[in-house]
Amino acid sequence: MTKTDTAFFLNRRHVLVAVCAVSLVGTAGLAMAADEAPEAFIQRITNDTLNTIKADKALRNGDINKIMQLVDTQLMPHVNFLRMTALATGPAWRKATPEQKKRLQEEFKVLLVRTYSGALGQINDQVVVVKPLRAGQEDKNLVVNTEVRGKGSPIQLDYRLEKTPGQGSGWMIFDLNVLGVWLVENYRNQFTKEINAGGLDALIASLAARNKSNAKAS
């Protein structure tokens, strides 16, 4: 993430509270996900998670190890991270080797978690209001619009979802829109520049270097 992009997000940590909330959802509600309406799915996971964070001092303080553990055990059942990484990487993803795809997902996940972990300490009295679903959307690419309300002006936060078929089916998140900026598009613009300059291995090395730098600073 460039300095400009990092400043954009970190200066608005109260916005990112809701983004981080998705990563801290419990698995208890997975069974009902298949039959849930998309608005109900988003309302449930955000409400449950905000309550979880408020009740856990370590999470509010941005304990990176605890956050990473929760992401591994609780985020992945709700997020199509493979699709998110592929979309952020762009056309180069199709030419990537299995090892490159694995490394890209690993480093991208660490980057996102560390970038947004500071938001956890900003939770106070926020609530998430889910807006009525726009008609005519398809299950494979559906947007649920919400507002994060607390002190100050309401904050736009939208979720792009897909409906997964088969056993264990349900809604999966694969993109987020914070204040009009889609996460995947934001990173794809950055990743494309690095891929064009040095290829996929250069992008992976760049992400790994950023993660090491962020780890030292945390």
At 55, which CATH number? 3.10.450.710
Q: CA–CA separation, 57 vs 121, rounded Å?
A: 9
Q: CA–CA separation, 170 vs 168, rounded Å?
A: 7
Amino acid 31: pLDDT: 43
Q: CA–CA separation, 98 vs 104, rounded Å?
A: 10
Range of the domain at 80: 3-217
Q: What pLDDT digit, counting tens, does each position of 179-198 carry? A: 888 999 999 999 999 999 99
Q: What pLDDT digit, counting tens, does each position of 31-44 carry? A: 445 578 999 988 88
Amino acid 118: pLDDT: 57
| pTM for this model (two decimals) | 0.79
* Number of domains within the chain: 1
User: Angle at Cα 120 formed by Cα 44 and Cα 171, nearest 5°?
Assistant: 30
Q: CA–CA separation, 100 vs 83, rounded Å?
A: 15
Amino acid 4: pLDDT: 40
The rounded average pLDDT for each run of 10 residues, N- to C-terminus, in the chain (218 residues) is 42 44 43 72 81 78 73 72 95 97 94 69 75 90 90 86 73 89 93 96 96 82
Largest pairwise CA distance in the chain: 47
Residue 86: other Cβ atoms inside 10 A: 20
User: Angle at Cα 69 formed by Cα 68 and Cα 75, nearest 5°?
Assistant: 80
